[in-house]
Amino acid sequence: MKYLSVDEAKQISGLRLVLSVGGPFAYGQAVKSVLEVKNIPYHAVAQFPGQSNDELFDWSGFRNAPVAIYEDESPKADWMKLLYLAERLNPEPRLIPTDTGDRALMFGLGHKLCSEDGFAWSCRLILIQNMLAAPDSSPARQVGEVLAERYGYSDAAAFEAPSRVTEILAILAWQLEMRRDAGSEYFVGDTLSAADIYWATFALMVAPLPEKDCAIDTDSRASFEGLGRLVEAEQYPILIEHRDMMYRRHLKLPLDF
């Protein structure tokens, strides 16, 4: 993927999407996939994990990613604000259900996946814990220290994270089983919603895609696979079946990052 610098991004109009460079980071992959499904063009802007990103902070008010800046509007980093922006820029296909009950369910699942103390947040705490266990002089330890400060890491939160992840996996699997019994392959109703995209993209944190589809380094793959074993993700094959269906039917492979 071609990335613009912050200075370059400030000189152009349209949708600028700040993404972390160097890997298929879950939150960024989710936003990219939402935009791709909706066929919304954007310019990727580089954010560097574990670094200060001072220029990005001066421009957007954020040091992390993803962040969307559309025209002269205020920057958006919260997952719901990003989703609402995408729905506004191209209403079709709808990723927020029109039915009130389905919409509430979709946002409830989205909260479990995306919000603080949710699936991706908790997985990240576990990965940070692993980085902090690396030797003091190692790059992994240095990145882990930056991320720990940025995302409110504590040993207590990291200790609780695996059980939260396992609980959320069980909820997601139960919901898919309910929908399968009703004749649907999707989390909500009979059609694609944002919840499907969030799970399919976040799943790589516990079950990375094959190398041909996701060319990540050996250490990252080992970390994700180890996390999957820790939370016993293999207990829920229906979740991996859903991920594979999403990439077969809706999302692009190989991942471009």
- What CATH number should be reported for the domain holding residue 108? 1.20.1050
pLDDT, position 52: 92
**The dihedral of CA 193, 198, 204, 210: what is its sign?**
positive
With b for 16 or more beta-carbon neighbours within 10 A and e for fewer, the 81-99 pattern comes to: ebbebbbeeeeeeebbbee
- 17 in any annotated domain: yes
**Domain final position from 24, 55, 89:** 89
120 shares a domain with 69 = no
214 shares a domain with 190 = yes
Q: Rounded to the nearest 10 degrees, what angle do helices 79-89 and 26-37 cross at?
A: 20
**Domain final position from 27, 62, 89:** 89
pLDDT, position 136: 87
State the number of CA atoms in the 13 A half-sphere of 244 facing the CB: 7
Find the domain containing 85 and state its range: 6-89
Number of domains composing the chain: 2
pLDDT, position 140: 87
pLDDT, position 137: 84
Q: Amino acid identity of 142?
A: Q
pLDDT, position 150: 86
In the predicted model, residues of the chain with pLDDT beneath 70 are none
**Domain final position from 70, 89, 108:** 89
Rounded to the nearest 5°, which phi and psi values hold at 67?
A: -140, 135
